[in-house]
Amino acid sequence: MKKKFLLEGLDCANCAAKIEEAIKGIDGVKEATVNFMTTKLVIHGEDEMMPTIIASAKKMVKKIESDITMKMA
Amino acid sequence: MTKGLWRIIIGSILLAVAILFSSNDWLQLALFIISFIVVGGDVIKRAVKNIFNGQVFDENFLMSIATIGAFLIGEYPEGVAVMLFYQIGELFQSYAVGKSRKSIASLMDIRPDYANVKKGDELVRTDPDEVQIGDIIIIKPGEKIPLDCKIIEGNSMIDTSALTGESMPREVEVGSDILSGCININGVIAAEVTKEFEESTVNKILDLVENASSKKSNSEQFITKFARYYTPVVVVIAVLLAVIPPLVIGGATFSDWLYRALAFLVVSCPCALVISIPLSFFGGIGGASRRGILIKGSNYLEALAKTEIVVFDKTGTLTKGVFNVQEIHPVGISKDELLELTAYVESYSNHPVSLSLKQAYGKEIDNGRISDVEEIPGHGVIATLNGKKVMAGNIKLMKMMDISYFKGELIGTVVHAAVNNQYIGNIVIADEIKPDSAQAIKELKAANIKQTVMLTGDNKDVGLKVAEELGLDKVYAELLPADKVDKLEELLLQKTIKGKLAFVGDGINDAPVLARADIGIAMGGLGSDAAIEAADIVIMTDEPSKIATAIKISKKTLRIANQNIIFAIGIKLIVLILSAFGKTTMWAAIFADVGVTIIAVLNAFRALNVMKL
């Protein structure tokens, strides 16, 4: 399943790269991309694990850069 | 934004005052500290917060250490000023990023906001996502076409430039299929929705462009790897620089070496690279879409610049793919009978030749009259019609069936026909070369493409004639679909190791070749899902000259990306070396950090401009 999110307050490109790396490492995530220019995050993960993936992704984003909030696109 | 600006103004005033107050040491120090807190308070706050979150080497932390360090060794004005310039740089950077984001957003501004759905006598403004197939929508002049639909009432001119880069408006009338993302210019039209928003052209294009950044180019991968090691390495060297020389070198002071180490920390962020390289590619891809060229990934944009061989399919790519029956040569029956028999036999095929036969025949095909249809790829069709075995196809079919056929010279695609193994004549069909095909080949040669090759299933005479007219280097004719893959394999061996081979087809019948080539380019993707699926690059219009345009965009993008890599790494390296030897100040370090980022972003911004190449 693919889900799209907006990363509000994404201002530094390096953070975007870090977030992408971190989310790729979450259990059940097949692919994750952060587009710095459109501030969009796309997570492609196992269907049944999606709720936990989203929860840990949100935590991960806050941890990496507390100014960024992850919202449903 | 304004908050940041005020902070900078107040901070600099305080700094200026502090510098003037040289008479009272304590008051001066207090003023320096206050201005430092005003300017860099938020950076320090974020740094502390992030440390608790386990983010050690982040930009805020490094800047905090560098500036606080400057304070500790008594360089107060420098500590404040470095933070000040860092903040000014950040402000500029966020302005530049904001501006690029805006122009990208305007590039993507083809997404329709609403659809006027007809419910009884009323028009209801609806989110395009909620419109169903079969709904009737009204599109007024000046509005975007929200979903792919078919006109049922009214006629108008539509502007397709957002999809194709083509500025000539297109005339549409009842029965025309119109694509979402185009703009209705003058008439009011009522149309029946044929695709849901998800599947509509505009959504597919947006998805494609947005997701293109997930397929990363080599330069982007290099930068990601570089960034991963760069910061820790620089920080470690900084620590060593602060600690070891004062212990080892006689007369070296700790504060001098600490100052050098602090400059290292300021330069240690890889931001300029991390931001500007993907931005260049994104800009190139976005700009290309403006010209009607959809590129599915940064890797393909990068590969395009290294193209050495361009292989074309003939029909539908270099030629219009619109065949017209030119001559009918019956043997023993009338012209009309010959045309009718061949049109019937070929009626099950979607090949352009078959379509032109049906068109020339002009009457409805009665499917009940035909049975046992067998298509032999690369040869023709055999079917039973009114109890007779009728076959229509090329010379190979006639040879295979051992039928003696007309052997004189005929230029064009020749369909030979036979009934019960008795030759009944032939029909000559010819295709027209696209107006810009010759130009396309010329431009490719000017762009240093080493070989242009044409593959065709058509006969040798036609193939050679077209190749000669267009100035192609090589032509391989009379190929079966499987032969095309073999020929492509052969051609793949002729390029250099780094070089790439691009195959250009119309996406119909050449999916295996598109997939096998380094870069598969499909032409005329407007409205053809198959082409959009199969290819790496889709040209929305029917113009082969867009391939040269795409290669130019690719070269420009790559040039910009390389400039940024060399510039950013170069400046950082120079400043690092100079600071290690104590030959520079923190000011240079600040420039190497934010200054370089801003210049790199502005440079990357140029990739968006693809109108002048």
Q: Which of A38, A39, A63, A68 should we substitute to test contact with B (largest number of B Cβ atoms within 10 Å)?
A: A38
Please tell me whether residues B227 and B139 are part of one structural domain: no
- How far, in Å, CA of B484 to CA of B478, rounded? 10
Please tell me whether residues B314 and B438 are part of one structural domain: yes
User: Is B602 a member of any domain?
Assistant: yes
Q: Write out the residue range of the structural domain in which residue A49 sits.
A: 2-72
Please tell me whether residues B438 and B427 are part of one structural domain: no
Please tell me whether residues B354 and B327 are part of one structural domain: yes
Please tell me whether residues B358 and B498 are part of one structural domain: no
| pLDDT at B162 (0 to 100) | 79
- How far, in Å, CA of B217 to CA of B333, rounded? 62
| pLDDT at B416 (0 to 100) | 93
Most confident of B139-143, B526-530, B580-584: B139-143
| pLDDT at B609 (0 to 100) | 82
Element (DSSP H or E) covering residue B137: strand B136-139
- How far, in Å, CA of B41 to CA of B190, rounded? 60
Please tell me the least confidently modeled range out of B167-171, B180-184, B251-255, B543-547: B251-255
- CA B10 to chain A, closest CA, distance in angstroms equals 24
Please tell me whether residues B592 and B531 are part of one structural domain: no
Please tell me whether residues B362 and B415 are part of one structural domain: yes
Do residues B386 and B328 lie in contact, with contact meaning Cβ atoms separated by under 8 Å?
no
CB-CB: which of B53, B108, B279 is closest to A63?
Answer: B53
Nearest C-alpha in A relative to B103: A37
Q: What is the dihedral of CA B193, B197, B201, B207, to 10 degrees?
A: 180
CB-CB: which of B224, B269, B279 is closest to A37?
Answer: B279
- CA A37 to chain B, closest CA, distance in angstroms equals 6
B313 as an active site residue: the answer is yes
Maximum pairwise Cα distance, chain A: 32
B309-363 confidence digits (pLDDT tens): 999 988 888 988 777 888 899 998 999 999 999 999 888 877 778 888 888 888 8
- How far, in Å, CA of B317 to CA of B510, rounded? 11
Please tell me whether residues B226 and B78 are part of one structural domain: yes
Do residues B559 and B544 lie in contact, with contact meaning Cβ atoms separated by under 8 Å?
no
| pLDDT at B594 (0 to 100) | 82
Encoded tokens for B225: 């790897």
B272-290 confidence digits (pLDDT tens): 778 788 888 888 888 888 8
Mean pLDDT, range A11-37, rounded to an integer = 86
Among B409, B432, B455, give the residue marking a domain's end. Answer: B432
Please tell me whether residues B547 and B567 are part of one structural domain: no
Do residues B316 and B350 lie in contact, with contact meaning Cβ atoms separated by under 8 Å?
no
Most confident of B58-67, B374-383, B562-571, B577-586: B562-571
User: Is B438 a member of any domain?
Assistant: yes
CA distances from B449 to B308, B475, B484, B504, B523 (A): 5, 16, 21, 14, 19
More confident residue, B259 or B440: B440
pLDDT of B300 strictly over 90: yes
User: Is B494 a member of any domain?
Assistant: yes
Please tell me whether residues B341 and B394 are part of one structural domain: yes
pLDDT of B418 strictly over 90: yes
CATH number of the structural domain spanning residue B183: 2.70.150.10
Do residues B119 and B138 lie in contact, with contact meaning Cβ atoms separated by under 8 Å?
no
* CA-wise closest residue to B141 among B162, B120, B155, B160: B155
Please tell me whether residues B96 and B219 are part of one structural domain: yes
- How far, in Å, CA of B274 to CA of A18, rounded? 11
CATH number of the structural domain spanning residue B345: 3.40.1110.10
Q: Write out the residue range of the structural domain in which residue B181 sits.
A: 132-196
Number of domains comprising chain A = 1
Q: Is B601 on the interface with A (CB under 8 A)?
A: no
Element (DSSP H or E) covering residue B170: strand B170-172
Number of domains comprising chain B = 4
Residues of chain A numbered 2-61 and touching chain B (CB < 8 Å): 11-17, 31, 33, 35-40, 42
| pLDDT at B525 (0 to 100) | 64
pLDDT of B54 strictly over 80: no
Encoded tokens for B361: 């025949």
pLDDT bracket for residue B492 (50, 70, 90): very high
- How far, in Å, CA of A12 to CA of B595, rounded? 15
User: Is B418 a member of any domain?
Assistant: yes
Encoded tokens for B246: 């004062």
Q: Which of B57, B274, B281 should we substitute to test contact with A (largest number of A Cβ atoms within 10 Å)?
A: B274
B105-128 confidence digits (pLDDT tens): 776 778 888 999 998 888 999 999
CB atoms within 10 A of CB B517: 25
| pLDDT at B194 (0 to 100) | 93
Asked if A36's CB is within 8 angstroms of B54's CB, the reply is no
Nearest C-alpha in B relative to A44: B214
CATH number of the structural domain spanning residue A48: 3.30.70.100
CA B472 from centre of chain: 26
Count how many pairs of residues, chain A against chain B, have C-beta atoms within 8 Å: 61
| pLDDT at B586 (0 to 100) | 80
Asked if B104's CB is within 8 angstroms of A63's CB, the reply is no
Please tell me whether residues B400 and B506 are part of one structural domain: no
Nearest C-alpha in A relative to B206: A38
